[in-house]
Structure 1
Amino acid sequence: MRKIWILVCISCLLLPGCIDGLSFGEEDESITKGIVPMSSTEIEAILNDPAAIDIVALAAAESRFHAEIYAKELNDGEVSEFTFIIGKDDINQLAETGIEVQSGMMGIEYAIVQGNSSNINIRVGNQWFLARDLEPEYVDPFIELAEDAEEEAEDESDFDLTPDLDALELDLVGFDWVVTIDDLSFQQVATTSNDTHEIMVEFHEMPPRIHSVEVFSFDGNEASSVTLSWGEDVALELKDDYPRTSVTIEMDEEEGTEYLDSGESIYVWGGEVNSDHEQEVDVGDLEIRIGEENEDEEFVYNLSMLLTDVTANLTDENGDYWLIEWGDHDSNSLVSSGDEWRVETNSSDGWELEVRIYDHWADAYEGGPLPGFDLFFLLGALAFAAVRRKTFLS
């Protein structure tokens, strides 16, 4: 995890030709009113100090911390942009994670704020929603990120988002930095450039701490940045007046034909809530429904069962039987990992129907405001991995 965030920004500097041909001056230019601006040597000492760019360690030292990583590139005439957001608030026991991906005509923007509260706020684009979790738990997302990165390193996945930067020689010395400062805020902005790219580093406080690093090409086709913030400005909060959204149940599902000892065939749907499930909700809020979409793409159902009923034996208009079952494996009256549902029928038309779970709390079918955050996180991971492969494997 050491230097995880710097990989995006420093990547440009490692590309062939990116740092070649720099013309160095003998003195730093500066605009000052009182305090002495940082020298090029001091700037590069901070950029090359592992402690100054260790995002996990920096987050651990703050009760409130926020990081935003951005990358932009041009591939085959199409611009792709990716932003990863991660923040924590130990005081309010809340965490935020999110992604934004823009590639051609496709755009995704999703964020979630959750923690030690039954309320969850989810943002899709500019719209916020209210979800819930009746067994809330605050997890420091930076610690979780570090653990995930270690697992990725052990698995040597093709989509490793955190390459070992120790294997690279990041010798950032000899740049001629132009520094501007603000006496009142102690803000210092240092810039340098070559024939193709410009680099800007913003420092806050005294002694100086890195607030942001930006690298962008003059043609506008490539850009990378990391922005770090801390303190009251990045405090997190939850609101309970947003529109409600339905629970997302992480399930392993299957369906198909089974044959009884008598030789009779039945059609079966089944699902088990897996270990990735996080939003534990009251089973009394949910209902299993069986039906199909009409011409207006509206789901029409004729058979249903509240999960609190546990078992229902139903007969349809054709005289075929339908057995619906719910298993609360830990008897906690919440939808949680290990719970199971099953639907079976001897109807010959059973395979044409769908089984959906309706959330009465949100007055909507299960799945949240978008069908599966994991899908969008994967898309974001692939976009980030593409940047990583281009940068480090070229």
Structure 2
Amino acid sequence: MISCSSGCLEVPIESCEDTDCFPFNNDLLNELLSNPESLDVLLLASENSRLRVKSSTTYQTETQLGEIHWNVAKDDEQNLRSIAMRFSLGTTSIDTEVLEGTETTNIRLGNVWYEGRDAIPDYKDPFYDIAQQAVEDPDGFWPSFGFDTTSISGLEWTITHDLESLEQVASAQNDTHSIILVLKGVPPELIGVELYGNDDSAFVLSIEKGDDVELSLKPDLPRAAIEFNVEDPVQLSDGTTIWAGYVPLGFTSEVDATELSFQVIESESTIVEFNLADLTSNQTDVHGDWWDFIYWDYSGDGYFSASDYYEIRTNSTNSVSIKTYDSWADTWAGEITPSNG
């Protein structure tokens, strides 16, 4: 037997009377759960540079089964964050992920990844960012990371443990749910909560941190053009037509204006083109009609970004459409280039 007189971690096999002990007994677990900070995602975000929180919610409507899955992660050292969401209700499904924080971004639609860009990346801790947005828009669609552990304190728990992994699993029941908790480490920390309702509903939350969290950008992806559409035209009393509007606040990237152009399309052919870096332009099309273009960098950041203003006027009465061409992606806004660019 090797003697450890100093520097060795000794893990007691028998239960003890301190919340730092391993394994927990029923009273120690309930003491932990009675602390509202025992599962505080914002506190975890402030204490860990690498963090991932996943949640799944299952619910039953009158006719269909619904599921909402969130997977939010960050790596402060790399200035990378990932926000993934999968929603399904019956035969309808949405599955997306955005990996961002640097000039190169990755976007996943279903199982397919694409490359995006952001000329002025502004990395924000996703957990604090989401919390702030949820306060500003409480009716919005946000991750369900909040869980009040005090609501399940005081139950009778069955606890098992594994000495090698320092993991404990506790299970209990109340009037409405079967509950499973996962704890790990010394002192034990709550890293998983599972609630299974008597009405077939379910809520599962899990936490990873430190070296268990890995984020990295994928190379050699097809490029995704910006998501932007010109507003519908309005007919003015003087006979002219105008397309005008602001870049939506939800447009979170900054893009070099030289990479974008408004193109007037008639019968699938471009008859007038305006590069946004020119700011203003007056042109005449093949029919002799005039076109006035204005782009105003309202935000003043030097890039095409949220709150910028654009305006297109013409005396043309021909049937045309206005599309935005993204030269970086070599395709129209909202589309994907077929090659790696």
**Range into which the TM-score falls when normalised by the shorter chain:** 0.7 to 0.9
Structure with a larger share of its residues in helix: 1
Within a 5 Å distance, the mapping from 1:102-121 to structure 2 comes to: 102-115=88-101, 117-121=102-106
The alignment covers a number of residue pairs equal to 317
> Does structure 1 retain, via aligned residues, the 8 Å contact 2:33–2:149?
no
Shift of residue 218, structure 1, vs aligned partner? 6.5
Instruction: Name the SS for the 2:240 alignment partner.
Output: strand
Q: Structure 2 residue aligned with 1:59, among 27, 42, 45?
A: 45
Residue identity matched to 1:319: G
Superposed counterparts of 1:118-133, under 5 Å: 118-133=103-118
Q: Which runs of 5 or more structure 1 residues have no equivalent in the other structure?
A: 1-32, 370-394
Q: Give the aligned partner of residue 11 of structure 1.
A: none
Partner Cα separation in structure 2 for residue 222 and residue 148 of structure 1? 27
- Determine if the alignment matches structure 1 residue 258 to structure 2 residue 236: yes
Distance across 2 between alignment mates of 1:313 and 1:171:
66
Distance 1:332 1:159 in 2: 28
Distance 1:158 1:361, change over 3 A: closer
Segments of structure 2 that go 5 or more residues without pairing to the other structure are: 1-11, 16-22, 337-341
Partner of residue 302, structure 1: 271
Work out which of the residue numbers 260, 272, 280 in structure 2 matches 1:286: 260
CA distance in 1, matches of 2:143, 2:218: 34
Aligned counterpart for 2:123 among listed residues 138, 142, 156: 138
Query: 1:346: Cα distance to partner?
Result: 1.1
Whole-angstrom distance in 1 between the partners of 2:311 and 2:149: 56
Higher relative contact order (CA closer than 8 Å, sequence separation 6+): 1
Write the distance in 2 (CA, Å) between the matches of 1:236 and 1:193. Answer: 37
Alignment correspondent of 1:345? 314
**2 CA distance for matches of 1:90 and 1:245?**
25
Give the TM-score of the pair, scaled to structure 1: 0.72
Asked if 2 retains the 8 angstrom alpha-carbon contact of 1:254 and 1:271, the reply is no
CA RMSD of aligned residues (A): 3.0
Q: How does 1:223-234 map to 2 (within 5 A)?
A: 223-234=202-213
* Equivalences for residues 1-394 of structure 1 within 5 A: 34=13, 36=15, 37-115=23-101, 117-152=102-137, 157=138, 170-193=150-173, 197-217=177-197, 221-249=200-228, 253=231, 255-259=233-237, 264-291=238-265, 300-329=269-298, 333-349=302-318, 352-367=319-334
Q: Residue 20 of structure 2 aligns with which residue? A: none
Deviation, 1:342, is 1.7
* SS of structure 2 residue aligned to 1:265: coil
Tell me: CA distance 1:330–1:97, structure 2 relative to 1, closer, same or farther (3 Å): closer
**What is the rounded CA distance, in whole Å, between the counterparts of 1:169 and 1:359 in structure 2?**
49
1:107 and 1:359 mapped to 2: Cα distance? 28
CA distance in 2, matches of 1:147, 1:302: 45
Write the distance in 1 (CA, Å) between the matches of 2:184 and 2:220.
Answer: 35
Kindly state the Cα deviation for residue 235 of structure 1 after the two structures are TM-superposed.
2.8
